[in-house]
Amino acid sequence: MRLTVGQAIVRFLEVQLVESNGALFGGALAILGHGNVGGPGQALLAESGRFEVIQGRDEQGMVHLAAG
């Protein structure tokens, strides 16, 4: 199987889960639209049915979300 680097990163992130109060969950926070994330952004779009991505607007908002 041949994968791009973006696809390999997303596949790796899919199996990274966090346990909280006995529940397992996973996903990613992302700010898409920059030129250097074209490959991973396309891979995230392709895996959108199996991998949850929350698109942030700025870094400070994402930090507040992660801390909460």
The answer to whether 31 and 64 are in contact (CB under 8 A) is no
Q: Determine which of 6-10, 21-25, 35-39, 62-66 has the lowest per-residue pLDDT on average.
A: 35-39
Q: Residues 9-13: what's their mean pLDDT?
A: 88
What integer best gives the mean pLDDT of the chain? 82
Position 55 scores a pLDDT of 83
Q: Determine the longest span between alpha carbons in the chain, in angstroms.
A: 39
**Three-class SS of residue 44?**
helix
Q: Which domain holds residue 18?
A: 5-67
Position 8 scores a pLDDT of 92
**pTM check: above 0.95:** no
- In the chain, the number of structural domains is 1
